[in-house]
Amino acid sequence: MNIARKLAILFLCSSVAVWADGNSFKKIRYDGGSVNLKIDALDWENLLTVTKDMITLVMQDGTKLEIAPRSVISLSYGQEACRLIGGMIGLSKHKKQAHFIGIQYATQDKRAENILLEGDKGNYRAILRALYNVTLVPVYVDKRQRDLIPAGIALHETIESTRRGSRFEEITDPNVLREFEILPATVNISSKPTRAEVSVDGKVVGKAPVVIKLDFGEHTLTIRMDSYKDWSKTIFVSPGLKMQVEADLEK
């Protein structure tokens, strides 16, 4: 066996050994999510460990979040992560240079949860690679940021492809669907003044306040009342999400 081949085999064995112990990343920011973690969003001193058995986020105060790789529904990066996950958690500012990483996953009690992480320029590629290796879930990314994703990771260019049908099956592994019941989102819509007419995707659903169920995807809300300007907003909802929408109508 020649020297080059011996070195290649040694490198492969070393890589497998490292992967078996998992990949740990120390410079991680938790920007928010549906999980109730009361921590400082500016804190970078959190630890993310990714193994084939568990994705574990340990906060500086010791709070721990564990996600089974097989339960991950979607991964997203950059602008798409900010739009998909940030929109759900009310992230008010989108930092153009931030390396956002979004994770959506299903829990054992059939709820959909989501978290928005932020890596730095030195580790975000490795984080994406590690998450993809254990989940094999394609990463949503804006076409303008494709070149920031490591080679070999399967990509969804944008969420646009799911807009027509807004069906959850279009973006997730069927094995996940069989194990977890995917629930609709619950949206509580109110208006000032009350009793305004509410339409979703062009269909009237009642008068505010009204609680409706929506399938995964993007929906357009329109609220109308005589003598007031029409109010309209497009929202993106995640399975099982609970959302409050308030419309202040203008004369």
Going from N- to C-terminal start, the domains of the chain cover 22-179, 185-248
pLDDT in tens, 61-90: 788 899 999 888 889 999 888 877 765 555
Q: Please give the single-letter amino acid code of residue 23.
A: N
**Confidence (pLDDT) at 143:** 83
**Confidence (pLDDT) at 35:** 73
In this structure, are residues 110 and 27 in contact, taking their beta carbons and an 8 Å threshold?
Answer: no
| 153/132 Cα distance (integer angstroms) | 7
Q: Which CATH number fits domain 22-179: 2.40.160.10, 2.30.29.30, 2.60.120.260, 3.90.550.10?
A: 2.30.29.30
**Confidence (pLDDT) at 20:** 38
pLDDT in tens, 20-58: 345 899 889 888 877 766 666 667 888 999 999 999 999
| 212/37 Cα distance (integer angstroms) | 27
DSSP β-bridge partners for residue 131: none
**Confidence (pLDDT) at 183:** 61
**Confidence (pLDDT) at 50:** 95
In this structure, are residues 100 and 118 in contact, taking their beta carbons and an 8 Å threshold?
Answer: yes
Q: Give residue for tokens 């996953």.
A: 105
**According to the CATH classification, is domain 185-248 in 2.60.40.10?**
yes
| 187/219 Cα distance (integer angstroms) | 11
| 98/87 Cα distance (integer angstroms) | 15
| 66/78 Cα distance (integer angstroms) | 23
pLDDT higher than 70, residue 165: no
pLDDT in tens, 186-203: 899 999 999 999 999 999
